A and B are shown apart, each in its own frame.
Chain A
Amino acid sequence: MHPAFSVIFLTTLIGAGQGLFLALYTGQVYNTFGVVGEPVPVDMYITGTVIVTLLMGLGLFASFFHLGRPERAWRSATKWRTSWLAREVIVLPAFAGAAVIWGALQYFGLDPVLVTTDALQIKLSLVIGFGAGVLALLLYICTGMIYAAIKFIQEWASPLTIINYILLGLASGFSLAVALAAYYGSPLVDAYALWALVFTLIGFLTRMLALRRNGRIKRKSTACTAIGVRHPKITQISQGAMGGSFNTREFFHHKTPQFLHTIKVFFLIMAFVVPFTLLVIGWSNHLFVLLVAAALVQYVGLLAERWFFFAQANHPQNLYYQAT
């Protein structure tokens, strides 16, 4: 497939946004249930929510560049019963809205205690945050299913696609949260760093699994089934258009296999190895700069990862455009 930058930015930005929110909410849960003793500065939650909103907004903004008629984008929520894209269109603003409410409750100090037990105070924001957290996870599933639901793009049609969207989004979000918590000197740094390392590590393993699976795919469609002629040697000599067409532009990356391989190695290093190392060093030595660098490097790595995700997918329609 042709990797469109609008979709690459959309999926990476909102993935990080959802992950960051889930990190913030994890912090609140830890505080409420006494996992992390000292209360977190409320400023961190507020700044965090602003960053989450910004990431979601930028992602949404990027997605509009993918549309031919962006002025009609409002229509895209209508077929939520059948289309994962429509579901994403609904869940994305729902999550962003819930996250904004969660942050606003804390900013305005309007956070009534709903239930009080011996040592616990269940506040309104804890309940709203739970809802937003569920929506964040749902959004990962919607985004992943957009790709996994196309059964004949065999590289995508796998549960690993959804798992990777979840884990890579969480990894980038928690990496961001580590830098944020370090900036505010929050005691949550340790918990965030641990989760960021865990998600990066598991994400690395599942992504490698996906690469391994995609390297061994047995194609269901062949030139024989495409044109219905049974012969081992079928060569295309004309594809119906001399100057290229939508079919030759949308479904090919037009890069050499060497370039693809380079990107693969690049993203494995930049999205997993380098941020993991930076996180470990920055965390153990309390180096704020390294923690920020880890989050940024990981984001760049994930951009490359997403580019590769699209470029690697081989659409069966390419059998009709073998000369490209």
Chain B
Amino acid sequence: MTQLALVIDLNVCVGCSACVTSCKEWNTSSEGGKGMVDKNPYGKDPTGTFFNRVQTFEVGEYPNVETVHFPKSCLHCEDPPCVPVCPTGASYKRKEDGIVLVDYDKCIGCKYCSWACPYGAREIDEQQKVMKKCTLCVDRIYDTTLREDRRKPACVLACPTSARLFGDVHDPASEVSIAINERGGYQLMPEWGTRPANHYLPRHKVKSQVTEESLNRIDNPLKKEEQRAPASNDLPSLDDFLF
């Protein structure tokens, strides 16, 4: 069983929103995308459909504060609560790769699935009046006309810090599984039993301990000369033996 997913590294995400714009670009202009509408893009209250957003949180209080940039898209849950509630069967989870998709031709736009998603990953497209969400770029990851290393979701390719990994989380040898295992990958809101396929890698602070001894070693060979025996005028010096 394959379960494709993203693994997002919060340790290196800088919140540049390149994943947001590349997602919007690909899913608006690609053949299968059908567009993600923007309402009032240059007006007072611009709004539109996005599959992916980067949010920013502040953790702690000054001076002990840190900023967490948090990209959020559909998590492609292994037990997706949005699928069984759909009255038409437009929402479904693909058996072959575990991607949760919406059939835009069957969706009636009742928004019940968005109520049933605790993560707020689904949005209604104000133009097509159907629910939309991240497709993991299903129209490009299997496109054999693309070079093999380009068959990845647009957001993954766009990320300048490689904060987004893509792969099969059920394959223990995959890059994503290894990252989850070795770096403590976790799921969002585990309390609801949705088992999100997407994982997040936690912030990881690198601290090095520098002690006085490691800077000024007692047996520092560079300082050997300073440790000469005390000189005395009564004793012959090295100069006395020369000449």
Q: Which residues of A contact B (CB under 8 A)?
A: 1, 66-70, 72-73, 75-79, 82-86, 89, 146, 149-153, 220-221, 223, 225-229, 231, 233-247, 250-251, 315-318, 320-321
- Complex Cα spacing A293 to B95, Å: 57
B47 lies within 8 A of A239 (CB): no
Question: Given that A68-B109, A76-B110, A150-B115 are contacting pairs, would A225 and B189 also be in contact in the complex, using a CB cutoff of 8 Å?
Answer: yes
Question: Given that A83-B86, A220-B191 are contacting pairs, would A246 and B55 also be in contact in the complex, using a CB cutoff of 8 Å?
Answer: no
B189 lies within 8 A of A68 (CB): no
Question: Given that A69-B108, A69-B129, A235-B57 are contacting pairs, would A1 and B87 also be in contact in the complex, using a CB cutoff of 8 Å?
Answer: no
- Complex Cα spacing A75 to B192, Å: 29
A225 lies within 8 A of B59 (CB): no
Residue pairs across A and B with CB atoms within 8 Å: the count is 174
Tell me, yes or no, whether B130 is within 8 Å of chain A by CB: yes
- Complex Cα spacing A111 to B10, Å: 72
Give the B interface residue count (CB, 8 A).
60
Q: Which residues of B contact A (CB under 8 A)?
A: 20, 40, 44-50, 53-61, 67-68, 70, 72, 81, 83-90, 106-112, 114-120, 123-124, 128-130, 186-192, 200, 202-203
A234-B58, A240-B72, A320-B120 given; 8 more Cβ-contact pairs under 8 Å:
A75-B90, A76-B108, A79-B86, A228-B202, A229-B59, A236-B55, A237-B57, A243-B45
Point out the residue from B61, B83, B87 that lies within 8 Å of A86, measured CB to CB: B87
Label chain B's interface by main secondary structure: loop
- Complex Cα spacing A238 to B81, Å: 27
Q: Tell me how far the C-beta of A239 lies from the nearest C-beta in chain B, rounded to whole angstroms.
A: 5
A83 lies within 8 A of B72 (CB): no
Q: Tell me how far the C-beta of B100 lies from the nearest C-beta in chain A, rounded to whole angstroms.
A: 15
- Complex Cα spacing A140 to B107, Å: 25
- Complex Cα spacing A234 to B118, Å: 19
- Residues in B whose Cβ lies below 8 Å from that of A233: 59-61
A152 lies within 8 A of B129 (CB): no
- Complex Cα spacing A166 to B205, Å: 55
- Complex Cα spacing A90 to B145, Å: 46
- Complex Cα spacing A234 to B55, Å: 13
A228 lies within 8 A of B186 (CB): yes
- Complex Cα spacing A241 to B188, Å: 21
Q: Tell me how far the C-beta of B241 lies from the nearest C-beta in chain A, rounded to whole angstroms.
A: 72
Q: Tell me how far the C-beta of A77 lies from the nearest C-beta in chain B, rounded to whole angstroms.
A: 7
The contact sample of 6 A-B pairs, CB cut-off 8 A, is A75-B89, A79-B87, A240-B53, A317-B119, A320-B55, A320-B119
- Complex Cα spacing A316 to B117, Å: 9
- Residues in B whose Cβ lies below 8 Å from that of A84: 85
